[in-house]
Chains A and B, each alone.
Chain A
């Protein structure tokens, strides 16, 4: 029982960076832009968030910096794909390489110029990053640690997912964005400002990815700077978008499930049955493939990729 509880808690923690990456990518894809640069934007957020936190000793400033860095990454992508109509896949891949590179570059620069050849977050921000204790609620057995004793990022992630869900499904702006993702020509004819909204959504998504990156560098690495801290999580987030069927609220569940798959090998009792680790590492991707197959059989328009995702919108060719 205790191990199971630990497993659930660890799943949530392992899923949180994926949650941010997934919501960010959903915001991109809903506007018709398949952005493969999630890994890069997360890496930029990881570096900016960590360094801002390191220097300002304030979590809020760190989060803002991570958001801004992710947005700058997305802005590069947006200018290239929305304004200059560059190929989305290639631009996204380039953004990944660029983001990881620049993040390591600045991290290295800071390390070399630090006194002890090590960057560790100061006390105050470490305290802000530790698990939140809610009086009474945290003390409830089982439910307390399961629901009310995480770090601030976890709650922020869930809140972001819910807000993005409301934005996409229940606001005029969000519905316009979805119209663009399905058929930008029709949306344009209906008077929606396609370019402007695309920029807005792509950059918003990039900022959210950036916060996911900050989680990697600040929480997973225990507050010590390390190169390559995102280490492939951005790619899992891209797969997770499919698993969550392009819905931010389903992404909450999806990312925790993926987080669970990621750590299953450490919690599954070896005394019952010994399965090679490679099998566990493979699980999330098998499930993603299955989800793809099932959704394509069901042909549900609601749960599939926006129709014009990956295709640039060129007004003159409408």
Chain B
């Protein structure tokens, strides 16, 4: 009897296996048959919108990259008037783990999401693959470079504009003429290096004697590395610490040492009120509102988004007037004005690098493709320590 049961069970299992195998290609077929012809996206009624968000960290961190993105989602929700149930968040999704990424996205689709935002670089390839498989769902990926002109676009912003402005605050504040910069990635990462160069250009515009010392942590999020890098920079005599990394630890380390700092992602004066002069911040709500509005109005075209200060995506947080140097606010305001009216674009003209060569041409400015993917040089005042 027991034997019979075992045979039946085994047969059952084998059968299930077969049916599962048979089903899979069937499910994939529609995607394969529809080549990437431009697809019209019908307007999705506001009540039917369901937004999925894939976060690399936890929005409840209260500071940093994921927090800034989630504030953007919250802002979009308020601006458009969505219910809480219309937003699905997947937190702590490791972006170097394609399986985890795929699971999180598929869960969103299963729960009925029709627009999915992936906030971290590493989600890119998984989103590209799934976008081909689910042509009715809008995929929007932040910080990468891939898109398909239909249901998969790319969004990022001109954070270098804000970095230039914060560089002015740092350049005017420093007394030792040494400014530290905790960078997440090295020279080959154009996002980090371009931002760092913009910052150094901002410093140079008001204080040509100041040097920018850089320490690379090799990690986007690592509390102890970021603390240690800031500590080392302070030890070398830096009195203003700027950062391109996720935690406010460099600001806190600067505060502990009686020095000053420039925050990033969100307003870090919340964490280190005595040290943070200002922060280069993202206002992601500008993009998320734009994207979801397009989906609601039926105007989604799959075009990529690269916003700046003009679009309200990029800003600097309120300047800490009690600790910045005199004249900082005026200097920042005038630079900001020339950026907004288009007379100044940060990477203008010929720029000298720290290995003695030059980039750019007189009378021209670097194009967007170069800025997002091709800045692999440091400005002449920058030293990697």
Contacts and interface: CB of A to CB of B under 8 A. Distances in A.
A270 interface: yes
A299 B279 CA distance: 57
A6 interface: yes
B60 A108 contact: yes
Contacts of A227: 57-58, 60-61
A125 interface: no
Interface string A104-119: 1001100110101111
Nearest to B59: A108
A140 interface: no
B223 A231 contact: yes
B61 A221 contact: no
B252 A111 contact: no
Contacts of B228: 10, 14, 262-263, 266
B62 A118 contact: yes
Interface residues of B, number: 37
A221 B249 contact: yes
A281 B270 contact: no
A224 to B, nearest CB: 5
Interface string B365-385: 000000000000000000111
Interface string B245-280: 001110011011000000000000011100000000
Nearest to B270: A118
A107 B60 CA distance: 9
Interface residues of A, number: 42
B6 to A, nearest CB: 28
Contacts, number: 99
Contacts of B247: 221, 226
B224 A224 contact: no
A129 to B, nearest CB: 10
A189 interface: no
Nearest to B231: A10
A143 to B, nearest CB: 18
Given A118-B62, A118-B63, A277 B218 contact: yes
Interface in A151-188: none
B295 interface: no
Contacts of B221: 228, 231
A299 B225 CA distance: 36
Contact of B62 (A13, A225, A229): A225
B369 to A, nearest CB: 27
B227 interface: yes
Q: Is the interface of A mostly helix, strand, loop or mixed?
A: helix
A136 to B, nearest CB: 24
Contacts of B249: 220-222
A130 B258 CA distance: 13
Given A118-B271, A119-B62, A224-B248, A10 B224 contact: no
Contacts of A266: 215, 228-229, 231-233, 385
Interface string B200-230: 0000000000000001101001111101110
B236 interface: yes
B252 A224 contact: yes
A289 to B, nearest CB: 21
Contacts of B384: 270
A278 interface: yes
A237 interface: no
B223 A117 contact: no
A1 interface: no
B271 A10 contact: no
A202 interface: no
B186 interface: yes
B329 to A, nearest CB: 25
A269 B253 CA distance: 22
Contact of A233 (B60, B92, B224, B227): B224
A151 B358 CA distance: 47
Contact of A277 (B186, B224, B231, B252): B186
A221 B62 CA distance: 13
A314 interface: no
A119 B62 CA distance: 8
Interface in B17-41: none
Interface of A: 2-3, 6, 10, 13-14, 17, 104, 107-108, 111-112, 114, 116-120, 130, 216, 220-229, 231, 233, 262-263, 265-267, 269-270, 277-278, 281
The 6 A-B residue pairs with the shortest CB-CB distance in the complex, in nearest-first order = A222-B252, A266-B232, A6-B235, A108-B60, A277-B218, A118-B62
20 contacts: A6-B235, A10-B231, A14-B228, A107-B60, A111-B60, A118-B62, A119-B62, A222-B249, A222-B256, A224-B63, A226-B63, A227-B58, A231-B221, A231-B222, A231-B224, A262-B228, A263-B232, A265-B215, A266-B215, A277-B216
